[in-house]
Amino acid sequence: MASPRIGSWIKIPKERLQQLIDTLASDGYRVVGPRIRDGAIILDDLTDIRQLPAGVVDEQDGGHYRLREDPTAGWFDFVVGPQSLKPFVLPPREPLLQLQRTSETWQTETPEIDDRPVAVLGLRGCDLHALSIMDRVFLEGPYVDPRYEKRRASLFLIGVHCRRAAPTCFCHSLKTGPALPAGFDLGLSELEEHFLLEVGSRRGAAVAARLQGEEPASGEITRARMATRALEQRMHDRPLHGDRRTAGRWLETDHLRDRLLGNLEHPRWSEVAERCLACANCTMVCPTCFCTTVEEVSDLSGDSVTRMRRWESCFTWEHSYTTAGPVHPTTQSRYRQWLTHKLASWHDQFGTSGCVGCGRCITWCPVGIDLTEEVAALGNEVPHA
Amino acid sequence: MVESPSKRPTLAVFKFASCDGCQLTMLDCERELLAIADRVEIAYFLEARSRTLDGPYDIGLVEGSVTTEHDAERIREIRDQCRTLITIGACATAGGIQSLRNWADIDDFIRQVYASPQYIETLATSTPISDHVKVDFELRGCPIDKRQLVMLITDLLLGKQLRVPRYSVCLECKLKHTVCVAVARGVACLGPVTQAGCGAICPEYARECFGCHGPKESANPVSLARHYQRGQHDPSHLVHLLSNFNAAAPPFRNAAEMLEQNSPLSNEGRS
């Protein structure tokens, strides 16, 4: 069969996702996708479609996450779990350099990157937007991160158009979902008995060609798109009806940068600091928080040293430590730094918001601090500079 | 006085009121212990060898808290004998589980525990070593973490600045992709207010963090306790959780007192 064109659609029975997994595996990909572990849906190795959490949905709210079975749910009607794509392009810990002292000098060696290509199934609009933001951070500008670049190039991305939102979702207010943006290799839409696959790249086309798909029947593509559009409409209507349980939160983006940067002394910052634990969970689960630090670990003799990179957070004391002490000594200054960077100065730095509305920082905050609520509490006024 | 047989720095290990678990952690270093013994002269470590060398010592490690007048005098002598003094474990750094006596009637405890209480001479409080002498560095934990101890000794030998992470256990959970037990299971976990260093062992086994490494930098247990109370956790359970090995560490103690004021518990309820 000739490869389908980019932008074309094929229809496969649901069970044929197994063939998609097998095809990718035979092409040398490590296939990962949504699986249940320890009460949450995480991204992990996927070999069998029976490992997918079909018929399961997630209840999410501030500081709250539970899974439950839902007889009306399809194969992908849960939303995002604690993990994003971040660990696949920026591992939590990795060695950057190995140093060995010889009698005369130091020998250095750059550890190899495990560059086995990874195919990720089940990514959402917010996830793909987050990846494009990470690309700006690591691949654009004068300093390209070679380790990120290598891992990023070997990713095969299989997206899913959302049909359901959690109460913590607010992608619609940032226009990052619930539909998939460009950037996927294959884009899945779920019907009753079938998946529609939209071909997003040449790599995606080559894989799709081997799935023995058929052409969608008349109206099926429209029907699939309507499910996501109807969700988006429900999310937009939600602020009017005030029912946050069903379809998401709202982040008002009008003049957001100036509202935040013009309100640096607002009393709300000290109020949120009374609740904030500075535990760093929000930044760890955020798909775009990219801060890392570098530590050198040596053996007892000091002759063998490994330079390690690991995720760091602007909520830690260490993050802003200089010889004179931390630049952000208080929880108040750390929370303000995080929120104003994410939503305001990120625009100046990278030409985009750092937030994609996935809601992970709300769900996985142990005390349920909600950034949409914090932004709203700062008010709609743009103070005059 | 026996001369130190080498130019290696001398190491001395001292015990105060404690369970010996931190000293055992040192013996548990096994392979690294032999490497350490090659690089330092173990001059005084009663738990490991009966031979002792007289001070002064380059490095002194102190386990345990001060609970008697004799302890309070002895730690001052030890301080004078050690160039670098490092306290190890929750007893030495925060007063340990035995600090529960600090807000109870010590005579009550003595009468209940000992058949002949008249022979017991003890202070009314259990206090960290740093309440008595200047401490150069504190290594937290109940017990201390083996990897942290080896790293500390390595840094000492290499003349590096001594440091351990001051951030939360949550960061260690997230680095390992351990699913949060507080958010996904509704378990009252002290991870968000506890200093990292253990490698986040308990949440990996679906158990809550017990706060073994004491309060993290900028800890906010009052906010966490209020949140757990709203989640229908019994305040007495939260008081017990906060009143463990680091009960006397001020942030934990303040939060426990806040909970008790909102919902009075007897002193017995805390132990």
- Scanning B190-229 for CB atoms below 8 A from A yields 191-193, 206, 216-220, 223-224, 227
Q: Determine what percent of chain B is predicted with pLDDT higher than 70.
A: 94
User: Between B154, B168, B189, which is nearest A298 by CB?
Assistant: B154
Q: What is the mean pLDDT of residues A77-94?
A: 96
Average pLDDT (B180-201) is: 97
CATH architecture label of B10-158: 3-Layer(aba) Sandwich (3.40)
As to burial, measured by CB atoms within 10 angstroms (0-12 exposed, 13-18 middle, 19+ buried), residue B196 is buried
Convert the pLDDT of each residue in A166-215 to its tens digit.
999 999 999 998 999 999 999 999 999 999 999 999 999 999 999 999 99
A93 lies within 8 A of chain B by CB = yes
| Structure confidence at residue B3 (pLDDT) | 46
Q: Which residue of A has its CA nearest to B189?
A: A366
Chain A residue closest to B223 (CA)? A275
pLDDT of residue A243: 54
Instruction: Indicate whether A239 pLDDT > 70.
Output: no
B174/A280 CB distance under 8 A: yes
Lowest mean pLDDT among A117-121, A297-301, B69-73, B83-87: A297-301
- Out of A90-94, A263-267, A298-302, which region has the weakest mean confidence (pLDDT)? A298-302
The residues, any chain, with a CB within 8 Å of residue A261's CB and separated by 6 or more, are A340, A344, A345
Instruction: Give the chain B residue whose CA is nearest to the CA of A90.
Output: B175
Q: What is the reported pLDDT for A141?
A: 85
Residue A287 carries which DSSP code?
A: S
B174 with A285: Cβ contact below 8 A = yes
Global ipTM: 0.94
Report the alpha-carbon distance of residue A112 to residue A96 in Å, rounded. 9
The verdict on B170 touching A (C-beta cutoff 8 Å) is yes
- The mean predicted confidence, pLDDT, of chain A is 94
Flag whether residue B184 sits within 8 Å of chain A, measured between CB atoms. Answer: yes
Q: Is A298's Cβ below 8 Å from some Cβ in B?
A: yes
**pLDDT of B5 higher than 60:** no
Tell me how far CA of residue A145 lies from CA of A150, A184, A288, A292, A361, in angstroms: 9, 22, 15, 12, 26
Rounded-to-integer distance, Cα A57 and Cα A78, Å? 4
The pLDDT assigned to A121 comes to 98
Phi, psi for A246 (deg, rounded to 5): -95, -40
Question: Is the confidence at residue A61, as pLDDT, over 50?
Answer: yes
Band of pLDDT at residue B270, cut at 50, 70 and 90: very low
In single-letter form, the type of residue at position A219 comes to G
Question: CB-CB: which of A92, A310, A317 is closest to B217?
Answer: A317
**Number of helical H runs and strand E runs in chain B:** 12, 5
Distance from B136 to chain A by nearest Cα, in Å? 18
Asked if A64's CB is within 8 angstroms of B183's CB, the reply is yes
- Helical H segments across chain B, by residue range: 21-27, 31-39, 69-81, 90-94, 106-113, 146-158, 169-175, 181-185, 201-204, 221-230, 235-242, 250-262
Distance between CA atoms of B131 and B123, rounded to whole angstroms?
Answer: 14
Query: How many Å apart are CA A151 and CA A94, to the nearest integer?
Result: 13
Task: Go through chain A and tell me how many residues it has.
Answer: 385
**Residue type, position A125, single letter:** G
Domain boundaries, chain B: 10-158, 169-264
The answer to whether B183 faces chain A, any CB pair under 8 Å, is: yes
Q: What is the pLDDT of residue B267?
A: 45
Q: Does B174 touch chain A (CB under 8 A)?
A: yes
Classify B146 as helix, strand or coil: helix
Query: Residue A185: its pLDDT value, please?
Result: 98
For the segment B199-214, the average pLDDT, to the nearest whole number, is: 96
Task: Answer whether A68 touches B (CB < 8 Å).
Answer: no
Banded pLDDT at A54 (limits 50, 70, 90)? very high
- Show residues of chain B in contact with A316, CB under 8 Å: 165-167, 171, 217
On average, the pLDDT of chain B sits at 93
**Percent of chain A topping pLDDT 70:** 97
**Is residue A382's pLDDT more than 70?**
yes
Contacts of A302 in chain B (CB under 8 A): 154, 157-158
Q: With an 8 Å Cβ cutoff, are B170 and A281 in contact?
A: yes
Q: Is A82 on the interface with B (CB under 8 A)?
A: yes
* CA–CA min distance A299, chain B (Å): 7
pLDDT digits (tens, 9 = 90+) for B217-239: 999 999 999 999 998 899 999 99
- List chain A residues with CB under 8 Å of B154: 298-300, 302
pLDDT tens sequence across B35-58: 999 999 999 999 999 999 998 999
Q: Inform me whether the C-beta atom of residue A271 falls under 8 Å from chain B C-beta atoms.
A: no
pLDDT of residue A9: 96
Task: Give the pLDDT of residue B99.
Answer: 96
B264 — pLDDT class (breaks 50, 70, 90): low
Are B180 and A366 within 8 A, CB to CB?
yes
Distance of alpha carbon B100 from alpha carbon B240, whole angstroms: 11
Chain A residue closest in CA terms to B195: A279
Cβ-Cβ contacts under 8 Å, B150 against chain A:
300
pLDDT, residue B1, reads 43
Contact between A65 and B184 using a beta-carbon 8 Å cutoff: yes
Which pLDDT band holds residue A244 (cuts at 50, 70, 90)? low
Does the beta-carbon distance from B170 to A310 stay under 8 Å? no
Q: How confident is the model at residue B84 (pLDDT cuts 50, 70, 90)?
A: very high
Of A65, A302, A363, the CB nearest to B158: A302
What pLDDT does A237 receive? Answer: 84
Q: What are the tens digits of pLDDT across the range B103-156?
A: 999 999 999 999 999 999 999 999 999 999 999 999 999 999 999 999 999 999
Q: Which of A281, A312, A317 to mutate to test the interface with B (most CBs of B within 10 A)?
A: A281
Nearest Cα residue to A217 out of A181, A185, A193:
A193
pLDDT at residue A236, as a whole number: 86
- Residue A297 near chain B (CB below 8 Å): yes
A109: how many CB neighbours lie within 10 A of its CB?
A: 10
pLDDT at B269 over 50: no
Inspect the interface and report whether the beta carbons of B171 and A280 lie closer than 8 Å: yes
Packing angle, helices A268-275 and B221-230, rounded to 10: 70
